[in-house]
Structure 1
Amino acid sequence: MTRTPSLTRRLILDLSYTQLVAVVLAWFMTTILGGFGIIGAYDYWLEDYYSYYRIRDLVSQSIARAADGSLRIEPNDELRAEILRTPMLSYAAFQSMRQPALPGSSEDISAALLGVASVEVRGMDFYFLSAWGQKTAGSVWRWKTPVGPLFIAAGKGKFQWLDILHAFRNELVSQSLYLVAVFSVSSVVAWLAVRRGLAPLRRAAEAAERIDLDSLGQGIRVDDAPIEIRPLVDAVNRALARLDAGVARMRRYTANVAHELRTPVAILRARLENPEERGFRVDLQRDTRRIQTIVEQMLIAARLTEGQAPRDQDVDLSATARGIVADYSPLIYKSRRRIAFEAPDAPVRLRSNRMAIECIIANLIDNALRAEPEGGTVLVRIDADRRVSVIDHGGGVAERDRELIFEPFWRRNESEPGAGLGLAIVKELIDKLGGRVLVETTPGGGATFSVSFPV
């Protein structure tokens, strides 16, 4: 099983390594700039200082121990080559600054350091002074060598660029404990910084953990989310919003199905109460087909909402509306109301989705029947300009409610019948078909719903 990578661990390591590399590089640069005399307290140049470390290493490698245990300097090949390159080179080695230099040391530097015998030193930088006052830099420091700790002195060397690496390596080794401390402190500081920086991400995860189907629309709320994770939070919130919209559509679809089936079931029930009527069997079959048609309409409505239903069917608006009015006749008779139908003699054709149009007209008629007073007449009128008007003579729709009535589940008060879905279905479908729905006041009182379809 592959181990899940840790972003916190990766950031801590990256930050720690970055700080360590920055310290080392800064150290390297200051060493170079100090050698040039640009910064620091040095008043000599590279060739006066950096060659010491390379000469020191060559002298340290050239110290030999005699059979009697005494030490001396026997130049190896590298030291001899350096002497040929720099004839003025001086070097010496001391077991103690209070003792004479080891055999094989240069006489001038050995004599120059005789005056140090009166004090105990760890090391120092100094100058050779010529008879005419010229100064030449030199250094003597105590170092670990293959034969033990010794003071190694060198001066009058000739600089080469490789000396910078020797100097830097010397400083790096001598300050290794400091670098370990820097890396440790950097790791702790990086851990604290990363933990604090990722706190909004943890809070976002906790907020996401609390989301369920009833709180999808709330999204993830992290007010202090940094700009780096804000796109991720926003993307997740947009995904949750799309999911919430999908869930809302499914819930609305379920409610729509129940709403749409209620009316034809009521019609069917009205017929079953009078089985002795003429044409009962035929009417029963027609009602059954109507229920089947409504189920198909709801499926079409769902597909239309998702952009999967055709919108280019050849539809005769008059014939479609006439069929819906005929299907509603038993229910209208049962409710002691009447319905009238007006349409041009010529067919009113348009290209749209037939089942969606049937669903729109059926819902408008159903809404009008609930508003129409007992004994009144609902008028369904088809105009030649592809307009369907359903007119009732009920209480009408107040101006302030003309936008609210198309919201799902909206009702003026709880005492009114219905689930508040019919007009919401009409609005949703007509918007998908590219048409418009308007509500106006019927002359004499009531409401007129007009649906117009695009040419």
Structure 2
Amino acid sequence: MASRNPSLARRLILGLVAFQALIGLLAILSEPLISSSLPLRSWLATERAGQLIAASISRDDAGSLVFSASPELSAYMAEVPEFWFLGTDGRTFVRGGRQRAPINRFIMAMVPEEDWGTTLDLNTRGGRVGVLLGGQRSDLADGAWAWLSDRLRRWLLVLAAGAACTTVLTVGLVRLLLRPVHGAAQAARQLQPGRVGPALPEAAVPEELLPLVRATNDAFSRLEHEHEQQRRLHEQQRRFIANAAHELRTPIAILSIRMEELQESVTKQRLRQDVDRLAMLANQLLDLERLQQAEAAKFRPVDLVALAHDAVAEMGPLAIERGSNLSFQTARRCWEVAGDEMALRGVFLNLLGNALAHGGAGVQVALNIGADDTIEVADHGIGVPAEAQERVFEAFQRAGGGTGTGLGLYIVREVLAAHGARIELRDGRPGAVFRIRF
């Protein structure tokens, strides 16, 4: 399975959330050091007692504070008999634990100075309540667990809210900042040979990404220059081949006429075969030139089913002469494509002719048109040698031997490519199968 490319937004989100989590943990762990001058054990004991008190204070129907010790606080007060606390919202008081003095507005003055405790501001079910407590004590582990469980619960809620905000802001910022990059990518997808100007727009691209865009434009410029040179060289070669083919036709025709003046002999037969091969080569080169000059805009609707039927009928006499069997089957009654009828007819004739010529004596050849937009020319002959299958569509390759020019299948591939189709060779076991897909 292909690995998924890393996401910049995902990395930023994970990094920022991890940073927030680290800062939160450091703040929690440093709280005992910066929030109080009490020793750690006393501070933890105060935190634990404060949480138990906060869970036991509420309000009655009249709005006054009410203290109702929770089971946990009752157990704690029984374990620590010297524990006491006083709580107020500024209007009413609540108290618990060891009794020292009546609660009134002068409570602080009435409690002995040596018994003054620690003040806390608690969030209770009755709202914010100021608490004075003393005599609290706790094991280090119990106090630490009470403190961490409370802080971590609140910290996780804050972290979840912060992560949600971070995700929304990061995704929005990444999309906003990378908008010029997406524009450059869209421009790259629309590149065509022969362009003028920079391939990718440099306007509004972030400064950090500008060197990459400029390097890409430079690379495209070098490729375009190389492409232009290759195009000119190819054009020169194409013109040379076309001119050579035109020039060859006249001497070949003259040679053919003069050869007929010779008496029949084995030498004359061999010369006739060589002249026919030269004539075929010149005609195929001209066909290739005509194909390369053809424009898709000049294509006309062509019925491939009718064209294939006519090609099979045209090759029928050759199959009979060779003692071979030629068949045609189609799953479609009509199949129209835009194309060059003469060039496509040549594709069918070439494939059928190759199968009859190289399949061996009495070969069975079938041209089948499937319902899945494929055309197959299959034979049950000797097939194409394994070492030649990779280069069977290359120019001047005669994989099956014989007296051909080696351009037939090359031209077939070029014709089909000009029509937006592709051809592939498959092993028929036995024989060979040429499959065309439009």
- TM (normalized to structure 2)? 0.44
Q: Which has the larger radius of gyration?
A: 1
- TM (normalized to structure 1)? 0.43
